[in-house]
Amino acid sequence: MPRFSINVSMMLTEVAFLDRFAAAADLGFGGVDIQFPYEHPAASVGTRARAAGVAVVLINVPAGDLQSGGNGLACVPGREAAFRDAVQQARAYCRELECKRVNVLAGRPPAELTRGECLQTFTGNLAYAAETLQPDGITVMVETINGRDVPGFLLQTTEDTVAALDAAGAGNLGVQFDLYHRQIMEGDLIPGLERYLPRIAHIQFADTPGRHEPGSGEINFPNVFAAIDRLGYQGWVGAEYRPLTNTADSLGWFQPWRRA
């Protein structure tokens, strides 16, 4: 059956961050996703995760000013040194957290530059990240982001994301396949899973519209989860949504899959 993780950056916000690992375990999750753990010492995060018995299954490479409305680091010419520093920071955290998946957010091309220029910068940075993290057995992932929530994002379709991976040309690259973003931009969730499964290193999900829990919107999650199971996907499937009320009450979808 699918292995579900829970994103402790967007969810379990009812408790302090370092308490979310135990809370995730209490709810039946064996793994956690973290977007940006860097506000907390890596040793503190790793200690709490291990004490709770949950695996940290992915983190994001620091993305600069992307989260505050800027262009980020990975696709912006002139910010290569900052991106390399970000990769080294992610590497240090991965070692402490025993994490084997990192996500590189491509960012937005600045208005004065062409998409082609920024794509070339991005693939070069991606190749650097893959080479740097390969000795640690880390898979570097790239995520398609919808242009409604993040206008101007460099990679807005799965096809564009896979093309960037191919251009970077490393063996430890994969797709972070987010069902929420895919539904907004492309739909065809199950055909997309079937087509790109060999490239997918992690799956995330939220319903749409609203980015809330399964059952709040238009996606038929029982069918999608059954398809993930049928396809034999072996990776993690990460809940990454904003609960309408609180995290525990949003988990009706999880009960058929909850670990003993």
**Domain count along the chain:** 1
Residue among 143, 159, 186, 213 flagged as catalytic: 143
pLDDT in 10s for each residue of the chain, 260 residues: 789 999 999 999 999 999 999 999 999 999 999 999 999 999 999 999 999 999 999 999 999 999 899 999 999 999 999 999 999 999 999 999 999 999 999 999 999 999 999 999 999 999 999 999 999 999 999 999 999 999 999 999 999 999 999 999 999 999 999 999 999 999 999 999 999 999 999 999 999 999 999 999 999 999 999 999 999 999 999 999 999 999 999 999 998 877 54
39 is catalytic: no
Return the residue matching tokens 């799965």: 158
CATH at residue 149:
3.20.20.150
Active site residue 14: no
User: Residue 58: CB partners within 8 Å, gap ≥ 6?
Assistant: 33, 34, 99, 101, 102, 103, 141, 176, 202, 236, 238
Q: Which of 112, 159, 194, 240 is catalytic?
A: 240
Per-residue confidence (pLDDT) for residue 260, from 0 to 100: 45
d(CA 15, CA 91): 27
* DSSP symbol at 247: T
Using CA atoms, how far residue 138 sits from 3, 47, 99, 220, in Å, is 19, 20, 8, 32
DSSP code for 35: S
Residue (of 236, 242, 248, 14) closest to 149 by Cα position? 242
Specify the pLDDT at position 259: 58
Q: Which two tokens stand for residue 212?
A: 């809330």
| Enclosing domain of residue 112 | 3-257
